[in-house]
Chains A and B, each alone.
Chain A
Amino acid sequence: MIDAPSNQRKARVLERIVFWSFRVATYLVLAAATYIFLDIAIKGGRTVFTKSAPFINMKFLTESPQTLYVFDYHGQKMQLSDREFREWKKTHNEDVAPTSIAYSAGGIWPCIVGTALLVVGSMTLALMIGISSAIYLSEYSRNGPLIRLIRIAILNLAGVPSIVFGLFGFGLFVIFFGWNVSLLSGWFTLGLMVLPAIITASEESLRAVPQGLREGSLALGATKWQTIRKNVLPYALPGILTSSILGIARVAGETAPIMFTAAYAMRDEMPWHVPHWTDFFFQGVMALPYHIYVVSSKIPQNEYTERVQYGAAFVFLAVVMLIALTSILLRERSRSRLSW
């Protein structure tokens, strides 16, 4: 045995330093995440929940955003939404000088609907194109320079900032295709943005299916497509869905790709109020992340706008969690049908 007590002491001290720095780094992340979450939950909770039954601010969840009017009336501080203010003026024939604050009354229902529509549409598109190309890459293509080039392109695409996707979508879908600011433009832009992540993850899930299942099926006289369709894809689907959960969070959360392609700051009609069914695809919508952006940076800040900001952020988190939860349940269902 080597007698090196000083070295051993050094190693032990180093061990402690390393261990503690790892631990501190981890706790820092945890603390930051907890702070953000609690901040949104507490301040947003004040907007979303009420003290009396039904304990949920239904107005906030079911109405469109309105302008808030604040004024003093015989020593009483009045906070009225646009509609309420007009009613009030009819009964009180008095001259008041209210301060008006945009978007700070009413609710965020159109934004919730808009975000849900954007997520469902773009994820459907991205999964359809993504799974198809993953099947091509992992099952059909033979490794060559072209395929390697495609893989590199996909990897690089994953690193492109979302604002670039936004500008690309604006140029291609909004202007060149003439789709204008619309759901369709937003679906394609967001879909393209998550496509690389979905292709990569789908390919990995496909490769994780044991080769023996493919060979066993082919040896029975199945064609390649029969094999993929019946004996590979069903077993890769849970993994593909898992990866799409992350995609959902990204699609729902990004503001940059939709601000030029799909989002309106304010729109009074709900998306289903369209004259003809095809118009559905060619209308812009309000969206939660864009609404948060607008109320946080486009209008003067005060205590009234803060309520909407935090309320919208809180609802936004809840909506993303809900959608993610749904796809987790879906995944568990498709996974429980397998048993290996």
Chain B
Amino acid sequence: MVSLLKMPETLSQQLPRQMNRPTGESQENAVHVRDVDFAYGNHQVLHDVNLEIPPRAVTAFIGPSGCGKTTLLRCINRMNDLIDGARITRGSILLDNTDIHASGVDVVDLRRRVGMVFQKSNPFPKSIYDNIAYGLRIAGVTKRSRIDEAVEKSLRASALWDEVKDRLDVSAFGLSGGQQQRLCIARALAVEPDVVLMDEPCSALDPIATAKIEELIHQLKRQYTMVIVTHNMQQAGRCSDLTAFFYLGRLIEFGSTAKIFSNPTERKTEDYITGRFG
């Protein structure tokens, strides 16, 4: 797939990247979390987290509320920069073996590579078309035909095209909750990220909409490094390849979803998965 966007220069120099997405066992676009401690002010919320997130697979973060899974997710595209006093106090997060907090890395370029879908769907108060075009326009794409093409492609990729193709110019607020969330996914895909982070994308959706998004996640993992935070154990079981279980800011267990759900090593994991606490 040819990238529509110019690769940001600083990153493309540091991280030589093929224009065609690799197939096979390449580790490109892998995310490595190394010895990470994270704190909001003086309150430490992550303790010594080590994790290797492989490309072209879905990694699920599970754990009870307040265990730090969303915090870690938001570290990967440096969304926590927005919060006063929030910082990584130790360790590093590597994308393609480059520290994303290194001084040469531009956060704007990073976020273009690492897209995010939020817990509460947040379509912009614009038309469906303009929602998708937003990311391209701010990246400097002005050619109408190119934007048209990207809008259609990302709406198809998020399985929304058939539902909205006749009303691209109506407000995104007219869509149902599930459609809005898929629109947000389409919006994230339009700028062609390498990594897609999803923060409880289905928490506000009904079962049918949830099923659609899960199906979508399944499709997308062929192309993207996917990380998904979820409260829903069945969801993690259904659509992830790897599962990381967090408890009180520590990574308790990380492994293939099949193993975690059928034969967890840790007692805590088993208790949580079987619903004994959480």
Residues of A within 8 A of B (CB): 142-143, 210, 212-223, 226, 230-231, 235, 338-340
Given contacts A216-B184, A219-B188, contact A143 B84 (CB under 8 A): yes
B 166-209 binary contact with A (CB < 8 Å = 1; else 0):
00000101000000000010011001000000000000000000
Q: Complex Cα distance A110/B79, Å?
A: 57
Whether B65 is near chain A, meaning CB under 8 Å from some CB there, is no
Whether B115 is near chain A, meaning CB under 8 Å from some CB there, is yes
**Is A220's CB under 8 angstroms from B125's CB?**
no
Q: Complex Cα distance A212/B172, Å?
A: 15
Chain A hits for B125, CB < 8 A: 213, 235, 338-340
Q: Complex Cα distance A112/B267, Å?
A: 82
B 107-121 binary contact with A (CB < 8 Å = 1; else 0):
011011001101010
**Is A221's CB under 8 angstroms from B138's CB?**
yes
Whether B94 is near chain A, meaning CB under 8 Å from some CB there, is no
Shortest beta-carbon distance from A336 to chain B in Å = 12
Q: Complex Cα distance A252/B115, Å?
A: 50
Name the contact of B108 in the complex, choosing from A142, A222, A338, A339 (C-beta under 8 A): A222
Q: Complex Cα distance A110/B187, Å?
A: 56
Whether B139 is near chain A, meaning CB under 8 Å from some CB there, is yes
**Is B124's CB under 8 angstroms from A231's CB?**
yes
**Is A218's CB under 8 angstroms from B82's CB?**
yes
Whether B232 is near chain A, meaning CB under 8 Å from some CB there, is no
Q: Identify the closest chain B residue to A143 (Cβ).
A: B84
Chain B hits for A338, CB < 8 A: 125
Q: Complex Cα distance A217/B82, Å?
A: 13
DSSP majority for the A interface? helix
* Number of interchain pairs (Cβ within 8 Å): 69
Residues of B within 8 A of A (CB): 77, 79, 82, 84, 108-109, 111-112, 115-116, 118, 120, 122-125, 134-135, 138-139, 171, 173, 184, 187-188, 191
Q: Identify the closest chain A residue to B114 (Cβ).
A: A219
**Is B84's CB under 8 angstroms from A142's CB?**
yes
**Is A217's CB under 8 angstroms from B108's CB?**
no
Chain B hits for A219, CB < 8 A: 77, 79, 111, 115-116, 118, 188
Name the contact of A339 in the complex, choosing from B115, B118, B173 (C-beta under 8 A): B173
Closest CB pairs A-B (n = 8): A221-B112, A212-B122, A220-B135, A219-B116, A216-B122, A339-B171, A222-B138, A221-B111
**Is A221's CB under 8 angstroms from B135's CB?**
yes
Known: A212-B118, A220-B187. 7 other contacts (CB 8 A): A210-B122, A215-B122, A218-B79, A219-B116, A220-B112, A221-B191, A222-B135
Chain A hits for B120, CB < 8 A: 212
Chain B hits for A143, CB < 8 A: 84
Q: Identify the closest chain A residue to B197 (Cβ).
A: A219
Chain A hits for B187, CB < 8 A: 216, 220
Chain A hits for B84, CB < 8 A: 142-143
Shortest beta-carbon distance from B275 to chain A in Å = 31
